[in-house]
Amino acid sequence: MKNKTILIWIFTGLIIFNIVFSAFAHKVNIFAYIEGDRVYTESYFNDGKKCGAAKIEVWDNQQNKLLEGLTDEEGLFSFILPSLELITGGLKIVLIASMGHKAEYIIAEEELGKFRELKEKESINPVTSISSEDSSGDLKEITHRLENSLDEKLAPLIQEIRELKKYQQEKISFTEIIGGLGYILGIFGLIAYFLSFKK
């Protein structure tokens, strides 16, 4: 019994150590978002360490490679969104870090679609304003101002949503750790059960 107690102590120690340092480990993450006409990507290890000088490849749904590049020291990489006609389906951004690490982030077709709509609206707006009279000039001015102030007001919110998305992608919860330990006990319990028939 004594040896088990010791191991349990060592083990508890490890868990506490883990919580104290809020440690996360070995996985690379990539996170991407569209802003304006650029796509911004951030690459980092699970513990938040930036993943610099790693290769980034951008693919579409049909396995066409659209472009590739390297992240900078801060793990950042951005590119101009290729013209939407070139992209079939969504965008798949693949991060290839050293030592066999790889991660990908998918920008879904719907998200690109929203972006496409926005662009179309922008390009249509000026045309309608030319065709009409003075009053629409005011309208245009108002819309423009409205859009600007909306952008400004929503910026922190968008930032927060981004952070949340990022957090969701990388977090390891305590429940998962405890759950995993439970599975281990169960699996070896099963092994023990079958071994108990062996004499």
Partner 1 sequence: MHISEGVLSAPVLVTGAGITATAVGYSLKKMEYKEVPKVAILSSVFFVASLIHLPLGPASVHLILNGIIGLLLGWSAFPAILVALVLQGILFQFGGITTLGINTLNMALPALVCFYLFQKVVHRKINLLTLILYFLCGFLAVFISAIMVAIALVFTGEPFIQVAKLIIIAHLPIMVLEGILTMFCIGFLKKVKPEILIITG
Nearer to partner 1, 14 or 164 (CB): 14
Nearest Cα neighbor of 55 from 90, 102, 92 is: 102
Nearer to partner 1, 68 or 136 (CB): 68
Q: How far is the CB of 97 from partner 1 (least distance, A)?
A: 9
As measured in angstroms, the least distance from the Cβ of 136 to partner 1 is 53
Give yes or no for a contact between 167 and 31, defined as CB atoms under 8 angstroms apart.
no
Q: Which residues pair with 78 in a beta bridge?
A: 40
List helix spans (H) across 21-172. 109-131, 134-170
Identify which of residues 119 and 171 has a Cβ nearer to partner 1 in the complex: 171
Write down the least CB distance from residue 106 to partner 1, Å. 14
60: left (phi over 0), alpha (psi -120 to 50) or beta: beta
Question: 79: part of which helix (H) or strand (E)?
Answer: strand 76-80
Give the nearer residue to partner 1 in terms of CB position, either 89 or 186: 186
Give the residue with the Cβ less far from partner 1, 99 or 157: 99
Q: Of 86, 84, 107, nearest to 32 (Cα)?
A: 107
Min dist CB 51 to partner 1, Å, is: 8
The single residue listed with the structure tokens 């996360």 is 24
Tell me how far, at minimum, the Cβ of 160 lies from partner 1, in Å. Answer: 24
User: Interface residues with partner 1 (CB under 8 A)?
Assistant: 2-4, 6-8, 10-11, 14-15, 17-18, 21, 23-28, 45-47, 49, 96, 98-103, 172, 176-177, 179-181, 183-185, 187-189, 191-192, 195-196, 198
Q: Per this entry, what is the length of the chain? A: 199
Q: Which residue bears the tokens 């798949």?
A: 92
Look up residue 62 and give its two tokens: 């049909």
